[in-house]
């Protein structure tokens, strides 16, 4: 899973095809992409991303949201918010997409072996965490308690809803879902993700947390976990910046002394905490 090769020419995308498309919400879609005819043998690690290219329009970094056990079907979840992602979201099965990758650092799941694993997602942050969840469920015996916490704006904005329901009923898995607001017919929890962290059952001295979502949410979540006794070096965040080259050359994604595309997107919290919340970075 951790053998990550590189393309000989890092800027040349391979042509993949949309095999299947599923709308998660009104503006968010999950694609399964099939590889080029010449084949594709690279694996990816949970937490990594690909650069997806819509021909003649532009390229965007998108986290891989598929199962790392099935790397030949590359899965991405895209929210249509800009010129590139709007076109990506509208692509029908059979359409071509340029893809290069996988790039970036991964969730250090090997370090969590024998410990409680907390996967904390805000909004579309569930997409980069889904490969880690798939991996943890497929290797359930490697981890102690598995806690999945997911917060989003409203029930209509929940992605991977069927899977969340499945994980909720799974033995040995605590899956806590919350939304910021809801209509009265929503039977679930309403409130911030911080309240769900308080309800999570884990041993803070022997746990690892992977957190992905808006930066403010990640910062507050990390502080909440530390408040419960978890060491800062057991918390990992996935950051997002303006990635262009994806190979640590162009500098567009610079974050203080770091290039997010190469050293990140996954960082250990204690290494980047001083930079979070600094407006000038």
Contact between 186 and other proteins by CB under 8 A: the answer reads: yes
Contact between 219 and other proteins by CB under 8 A: the answer reads: no
Local structure of 252: helix, strand or coil: coil
Report the distance separating Cα 137 and Cα 241, nearest Å: 30
Beta carbons of 55 and 98 less than 8 angstroms apart: yes
> Looking at 3, 38, 41, 183, which residue binds other proteins (CB under 8 A)?
183
Contact between 157 and other proteins by CB under 8 A: the answer reads: yes
Please, what sign has the CA dihedral across residues 135, 72, 166, 175? positive
> Looking at 68, 213, 264, 265, which residue binds other proteins (CB under 8 A)?
213
To other proteins, the closest distance from the beta carbon of 184 in angstroms equals 6
- Of 192 and 206, CB closest to other proteins: 192
The per-residue DSSP string of 7-47 comes to -SSTTPPEEEEEEEEEESSSSEEEEEEEPPTT-------TT
Distances (CA, A) of 223 to 3, 257, 269: 33, 23, 10
To other proteins, the closest distance from the beta carbon of 26 in angstroms equals 10
The residues that bridge with 175 in the sheet, in sequence order, are: 148
Angle at the Cα of 134 from the Cα atoms of 148 and 215, rounded to 5 degrees: 50
Q: Segment contacting other proteins (CB under 8 A): 69-77, 136-144, 145-153, 264-272? A: 145-153
> Looking at 17, 21, 144, 153, which residue binds other proteins (CB under 8 A)?
153
Pairing state between β 235-238 and 266-268: antiparallel
> Looking at 18, 32, 79, 230, which residue binds other proteins (CB under 8 A)?
79
> Looking at 37, 141, 187, 257, which residue binds other proteins (CB under 8 A)?
187
Q: Which residue has the tokens 């992602």?
A: 85
- Of 196 and 208, CB closest to other proteins: 196
Distances (CA, A) of 238 to 41, 54, 83, 113: 26, 24, 24, 20
To other proteins, the closest distance from the beta carbon of 214 in angstroms equals 4
Contact between 2 and other proteins by CB under 8 A: the answer reads: no
Beta carbons of 65 and 131 less than 8 angstroms apart: yes
Instruction: Convert residues 40-59 into a mask of x (bound to other proteins by CB under 8 A) and - (unbound).
Output: ------------------x-
Size of the site for other proteins (CB under 8 A): 35
> Looking at 189, 241, 252, 268, which residue binds other proteins (CB under 8 A)?
189
Q: Segment contacting other proteins (CB under 8 A): 92-100, 101-109, 174-182, 247-255? A: 174-182
* 77, two tokens: 């979840």
Binding site for other proteins (CB under 8 A): 27, 58, 60, 79, 81-85, 122-124, 151-153, 157, 180-184, 186-192, 194-195, 213-214, 216-217, 220
């Amino acid at each position: 899973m951790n053998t990550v090769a590189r393309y000989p020419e890092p800027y040349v995308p391979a042509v993949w095809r949309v095999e299947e498309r599923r709308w998660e919400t009104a503006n968010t879609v999950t694609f399964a992409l099939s590889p080029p005819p010449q084949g594709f043998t690279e694996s990816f690690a949970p937490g990594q991303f690909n650069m997806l290219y819509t021909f003649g329009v532009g390229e965007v970094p998108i986290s891989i949201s598929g199962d790392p056990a099935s790397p030949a079907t590359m899965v991405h979840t895209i929210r249509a918010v800009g010129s590139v992602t709007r076109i990506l979201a509208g692509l029908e099965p059979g359409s071509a997409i340029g893809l290069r990758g996988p790039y970036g650092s991964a969730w250090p799941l090997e370090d969590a072996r024998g410990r409680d694993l907390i996967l904390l997602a805000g909004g579309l942050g569930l997409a980069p965490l889904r490969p880690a969840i798939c991996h943890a469920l497929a290797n359930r015996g490697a981890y102690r308690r598995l806690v999945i916490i997911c917060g989003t704006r409203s029930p209509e904005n929940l992605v991977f809803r069927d899977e969340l329901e499945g994980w909720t009923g799974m033995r040995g898995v605590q899956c806590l879902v919350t939304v910021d607001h809801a209509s009265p017919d929503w039977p679930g929890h309403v409130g911030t993700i911080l309240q769900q962290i308080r309800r999570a059952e884990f041993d803070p001295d022997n746990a690892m947390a992977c957190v992905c979502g808006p930066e403010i949410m990640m910062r507050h979540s990390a502080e909440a976990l530390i408040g419960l006794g978890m060491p800062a070096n057991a918390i990992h965040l996935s950051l997002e910046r303006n990635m262009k080259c994806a190979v640590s050359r162009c500098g567009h994604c610079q974050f203080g002394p770091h290039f997010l595309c190469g050293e990140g997107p996954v960082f250990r919290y204690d290494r980047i905490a001083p930079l979070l919340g600094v407006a000038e970075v």
